[in-house]
Structure 1
Amino acid sequence: MSGDLRSGGQGDEQALADEQLTDPAFLVTADPDEVMALTAVASRPAARLAAAVYRASAHAHGDADAAARRQILAVDAARFGDRELSDRIAAIEIPDVPAVRWRVEWASGSQVHPGFRGFLDSLRGGWPPPVVAVDGRPTTITLDDNTMSLMDPATGQELAKAALTTSARGEETTAVVDGRPLRVSCAGPDLLPRILDASTGELLGVLPGSGKSGSKIASVESVVIGGSPCVIAQDVWLTLVVWDLSTRKLIGELRTEGDDLSSWAVVTLDGRPHVVTGSYYGKVEVWDLATCERVGSEQGDDRDLQLMVPAMIGGRPHVLTAGRDRHVGQPLSTTGVWSVDPLQRIDRLPVGVNKVATATLGDRCYAFTNDSAVWELSPAAPVGNRTPGHSATVAAVATIVLDGRPVAVTGSHDETMRVWDLGTGRPVGPPLFADPDETNNEYDGVTGVRAAVVDGHPYVVAEHSDGYGPTVRVWDLATYAELTGDSWPTEISESMIDDIQLVPEETRLSVNGRTCAVTISPDPELERSAISFRDLDTGQEIDDTPFGPMSAFATGTVGGRVVAVVASGRRVRLWDSAGAPATVTDEFVFPGPVDTVAVTPEGRLVIGFGRDLAVLSRR
């Protein structure tokens, strides 16, 4: 059944899979291999959502115990926008394990997608293997010789296969004219499009020149137009040129509206060949190759669309795109998914790419990004309600009250800051970013954030890295505008970011009438750190406990008690410093490494991990 894939599985086995996947206790306690196999055949919306939640951090489930898996799944359910499922997962009882005391109020979903299926590369330990369904049965994916194969994991039998399509096109292509195999090559030093006999290499001619380039060609691809073998080529002046190989005549030229062609892909629309072009300024255009006329144009959000790959989803042509952020000019950490008819961006995959391949089986498309991650794209209705956020690591967070509501301000390596309503989890206002025309793209990202109210007016102070050292920038949160140095309020200075540093040497707290110092002592040789609580009035050490290399630290008040929040890798510990010795009262596990933490005045925890943000509150 090569090239044929059916959803299948409407019988008892698939109904049982849906029933198990919608049982939170099964997700938390069952063997991860068993759960992963069932995720491939989920059919009902609730089961498909649960499957997506499980796959989001499947790489962590294999080695995790049930308690850690419960926490990770609760966060991932919130990342997909289902707080009710998050609560149900957190409520699962585990023998000899304390009940969860913290609720995931909400989380952003920048780094999750229902189409994610797993990783192919062995660098990630080979687990989870990408699993998809053929005739209602779970199968694994292998790639070999530009072919995707779906294999029965039990027998090793190949059940389906499909050819891979990429953006790769080079200096040569092949075609058959009147039964004679030909090569069209622009590999010579003069870049002219030569026609050669594919068997003997005999030169048969040169395609006629056109436009400014005079036929100097950079890349070429064969295509059939109206039954005739043709070639489409990009010349050195960023124009697409189309020739009929039977007549060796020029059919036409395609020039983007801004004369700024960056990428292109040939697709079939309603049985006719078309080409989709991407431009430097982010415009996507569609051209009918039979007439060489533009039939569609849409301005995208991204810039410099340097990569475009065709994909068939639900029997309709689509393209995947990669480019740069329009605000700050950095390469995107997402991949755009565009439908060709109607021409519009319909989705984003949360992965930055420099290489993509696609394969089509039935109504589904499989995308392979950077030879690693596998994504299944189908016309089925999407599941979950993800809130997008940053496109790179969340490196800093601060809290403030804005217009009477508590908000968090996050800074990221994507060079932007975002404001979040802590109650709803929704973004407030537009992203804050430095104008790339003014900064010349010198900033590497936001490394620290502090929010402050001066004379009743809210401001945020951000620390940026420019490769030479920290640079301070100030934003007015009432207008979302950046202030120049001479317009800063007098109370704002670089001293306002003294508490931004990732690992403060010492933080002083007032605990039960005592002055307590919290000290972090890193040990680079052992890659470990120690946190100590010392009574400054008596000099007595309250506690000294080693843990892994620390990645984030914050202090605050939770339930009327002063706490220290310490992150190391994917784990976060909450220390109650009111006792002697100080104790760890809560420990959390997150889907990815934690890079920033904060405690709000109301006692919520704000955790930044990867590109996402989660807010937790005591039950």
Structure 2
Amino acid sequence: MNGRPIAVSAGAEGTVRFWKLPGFQPAAEPLNGTSAMFVELGDGPGVLTKGEYGARLWDLSTRKVVKRFLENTVFTLGDYGGVRALFASDGETVRVWNPATRALMRTLRTSGAYAMAVGRLRGRQILVAYEGEDSPLRIWDLASGRKIGREFYMDDEYATPEWMTIAEIGGRTLLLARSYLGIHQWDLAAQKDMGMLVSGNLESREDDNEDQEDYSTSALTTDRGRQVLALGQFTSDHQSLTKSVPASTFLWDPVRGRRLGTLKGHQGAVTALASGTLDGKPVLLSGSRDNTIRLWDVRARRQIGDPSPAGPIDGAEAAAFATIDGRPIVVTGEENGTVRTWDPATRRPAGKPMRGAPTSDLGGLTSLAATDLDGDPVAVIGRWPTDIRVWNLKTSTLLETLPVPSKPGDDGGLWQLVTVRQAAGPLVVATVGTAGGPRTFTWDLRTRRLTARFDLDPRGENWISDTLVSLVDGQAYVVAYNGGYRSHRLSRRVEIWDATGRRISAFTVSPLSGEKPDEEFQVYHMGRFGCRVAVLATSGSDSVRVLDPATGRDLTPPIDLGGEGSASARLLGVAEMGGHTIALTEVGVDDSRTSRVWDLTTRKPLSAPMKEVYWRAFAAGAPYLVSAGPEEQLLLWRLANAP
């Protein structure tokens, strides 16, 4: 672009980004899309993006869409008629387009083309098309539009090719195809199945074969005139949807079938690979679930420069806003307790990751809050069961671990914490599960001393199913409630306490019309809603209830979040911003759920529905709003009307 090399990336959160190489500085404003392919338009650069809107071919010089395609269209690039053509298949009909002129060059009627590769065989231009599940691959002569040679199959009826390419390797014209089984290869001239070049099937893996891996992406590159096959390793933690596991890119000699080297650095599965040249040298670009892109020197087997700016890599469980030297900073806490800071203006890390000493008996992060201590910004994080740590965000150093009193049998763990700003110094207020029921503790953050404690169930009635701690007008309040699903005479009971242990109110929330008394009831937030203090809750439907914290009565009609049928709603996070109550919501049935950012005050959604939002990080700091996105992504919003 503009005479400089760039990288194009796309993520599940729906953003296509452009990066200068090397260095990964932004090269252009992002576009919408979940996948992208660079396309040379002849007189300038172009990009093909895909998303819920279908597919669009963009002229990057003018930032205009020059051609549109239907949503399920399959694409590949290949030489045809002297140009680098764009092949587009709707399943059976393959159309060949000249990207420079947008002219249709060829129409090919096939028996099915759900994956494609274009190349040359004995001087003829050919297309290999995969016809679909339990169907063959066929070779088509692009000049005559006829099938040539015999059909051939994958090794397994469920092995769908996720990547195919035709290449001259070792003096033979080979088709390489990647499926969950590994890399298949066929000699197209000899019409011969060459078997598996690289195996990646977990079920058939031999214990003594260390070269067998799971692969999620692949690319062909060169090194000193010979072909090199790059394979991105797929890794995951089967106990967690969000936890990332380090992964590598393996370089293979496709002629001899042996591994040439390993490129290490990614902290999550390698999900995308692309090859190219930079300053005359072969390079690889790799994208990963750790939300970084890395540039590699293929010949030297080393990384070139730093990776691209990254998001959280281990499931950001919580988020907050802080201020460092007058600048707003996003603070995130990951499942493993790692704390990171981000500059929302540049979308880059604002400091070093903060990791505590590994402790085998510590569980996931439960809460995070930010405040100031003696003029320095600090983050207070809680990890299960009772680990509370205080980090200096300016120096990225651990200041202290707060002592949490416990007794034998106290296995409830740390539930939630908040920080309270006071003239004498900040306080930390937390709820902890104990053998006698939930208990609230308060610490003076300056002295690290425990200053107060009280039981939320002093009579031992075992009625509390959950608690939350909220800030209202700078004061901390604890809400204890029964979720309704526990068989108890105090079902749907709510009690509200201040941080000194004084009970403010107690009430029982009535079911909505048509709602069963034992429907699940959950409280998510207490704070300002417009000009009044309110408690936000859900009770088995797709609506949010706004309750009076003194009586439990509905202050407004329930807020419909747009679910269908028996859908239920959850609030993954709530924040107050500019007089508005903003929430990250989740609506659906069982595993079929979508998330969305809503302005509950105006009863309007602020984002499109999102799937695969596995965590609940959410925070506001004018004019920014940060929310969880699909997979490991953080979504940063700049609200136009924020103060």
Q: TM-score, normalised by structure 2?
A: 0.43
Q: Which has the higher helix share?
A: 1
Higher strand share: 2
Larger RCO (CA within 8 A; separation ≥ 6): 1
